A and B are shown apart, each in its own frame.
Chain A
Amino acid sequence: MKNKYSIFSLIKNAFSQHENWKQAWGDPEPKREYEAIIIGGGGHGLATAYYLAKKHNMRNIAVLEKGWIGGGNTGRNTTIIRSNYLWDASAGLYDHALKIWENLSQELNYNIMFSQRGVMNLAHNLQDVRDLKRRTHANRLNGIDAVWLNTNQVKEFCPIINTSPDIRYPVLGGTLQRRAGTARHDAVAWGYARGADEMGVDIIQNCEVKGIKRNGDQVEGVETSKGFITTKKIGVVAAGHSSVIANMAGLKLPLESKPLQALVSEPVKPIIDTVVMSNAVHAYVSQSDKGELVIGAGTDAYVSYTQRGSHDVVEGTLKAILELYPIFSRMKMLRQWGGIVDICPDASPIISKTNIKGLYFNCGWGTGGFKATPGSGDLFAHTIANDEPHKLNAAFNLNRFVSGDLVDEHGAAAVAH
């Protein structure tokens, strides 16, 4: 690594007042032709480019980003990472990602601040209890760590939760995945960008894709705000805008794009050292390293590309937060925002070829894509390089909506969607 970050480079640069650090990635003009083009410079897109270069030796590739890298949903999520999904296919996919997360800082030589602080999912009624216990068993059969906690154990693990039996939705227990946790979202994009750039990948920002050129069933290139670029392989990782790109290629996807909201509070001293999610009342909360409470709310129930969302959704979430954590009643919220998430009918992602040769889609991550970033990039790179899926993403093909072989995590997983 030509520019390795270490304690020695830190000391060395201290002598020059940290003014001589080299740029972590370049700002190239697009070439006329690439072996492959990735549309979307978020975490998933940059990870895809990184693994294409690293594992499949495709170096003549570019990532096109219409804004700045990591400025979309990568910078807008609540950074929760876990793999406690119910179905075998999902468990395989998300645990593949979790295993990569565990060594990602070392691999990228970039501190992504991965913190395995545990994720606890609460149960508020008898059906929640049954569903979550079932999920715990399913997880353990798939080799994923999961334990069931009763109400007292929940209180012991996270003392600020109100476990009184007379609240509207009392805490009847919960599940805990200890290997789960959080990571610094920006650092993930930046680390992958730096790693990909070093292997020769062109990261082209402020470059919007305007059209996809096809010759019959084969893609020939992309029309962009920086001119036409020829390529035989296009990987689309455009999250909420996947349908917009698909329409350019004359393709329809089973997606609906909706705003998902989150908010952060003013920073306070450490008060909650884990991530707590509650599906029934739709609220989840963790604390960032800066001390802000990071709160995830729900999606608006209509298609919208405005990165805002409705007030009633935030209100509902905060009501639930206040009942579960009365200690937060005087907290001030600093920022609120929305990200546009592309939701599949079965709430599982699509990492797939299409019926157009050379056109690949990685989309439909809905409300929970951040956790899968490294695994998604790895498997999508495999799919693009070999023109066929890896066994871990074979179930997440586009054809499942025709065959009916859905991966229905929506109701079954009792996770916040």
Chain B
Amino acid sequence: MFLINCPYCGERDQSEFSCGGEAHIIRPKQPTELSDDQWAEYLFMRKNIKGVQFERWNHAHGCRKWFNMVRDTSNDKIHAVYKMGEKPPVK
């Protein structure tokens, strides 16, 4: 339970947002050329980090826009919020 600073709306309760999981997983440019192993890596394998993790979030009950977030999963502290397409901050 925490507050999230939506880059479009400002600080709101976390229950207004939905989490889209790990950020910066790049969709394969040539899907037809992928092996089964590469598909598994893209679709299912996750870092699931205990510590600082980059994530996608959606302000589902607000502006409905997607953005990225850097959050420490061991204590739910948010280190940075940045818009889609912006460069992730260095740790």
Give A residues with C-beta under 8 Å from B: 241, 243-244, 247, 252-257, 301-306, 308-312, 342, 345, 401-404
Contact = CB atoms under 8 A, between A and B. Distances in A.
B1 interface: yes
Contact of A254 (B18, B45, B49): B45
A402 B36 contact: yes
A310 B46 contact: no
Interface string B13-33: 011001101000000000000
Nearest to A343: B48
For chain B, the bracket of interface size reads 20 to 34
B1 A301 contact: no
Interface residue SS majority, chain B: mixed
Contact of B44 (A306, A311, A345): A345
A404 B55 CA distance: 26
Contacts of B73: 257, 303-306
Interface of B: 1, 14-15, 18-19, 21, 36-37, 39-41, 43-50, 53, 55, 73-76
Nearest to A309: B1
Contacts of A402: 36-37, 39-40
Contacts of A301: 18-19
Contacts of B49: 243, 247, 303
Given A241-B50, A402-B40, A403-B36, A306 B76 contact: yes
A306 B75 contact: yes
A254 B18 CA distance: 20
Given A304-B76, A310-B1, A256 B15 contact: no
Contacts of A243: 46-50
Given A243-B49, A303-B21, 19 more contacts: A241-B50, A243-B46, A243-B47, A243-B48, A243-B50, A244-B50, A247-B49, A252-B47, A253-B45, A254-B44, A257-B73, A302-B55, A303-B49, A305-B74, A309-B1, A310-B1, A342-B48, A401-B44, A402-B36
Q: Which 5 A-B residue pairs are closest in the complex by CB-CB distance?
A: A302-B19, A243-B48, A254-B44, A310-B1, A312-B15
Nearest to A257: B48
B53 A303 contact: yes
B44, B55, B74 — most chain A CB neighbours (10 Å): B44
B75 to A, nearest CB: 6
A305 B73 CA distance: 6
A187 B44 CA distance: 36
11 contacts: A243-B47, A243-B50, A244-B50, A255-B46, A257-B50, A303-B53, A306-B73, A306-B75, A309-B1, A310-B1, A312-B15
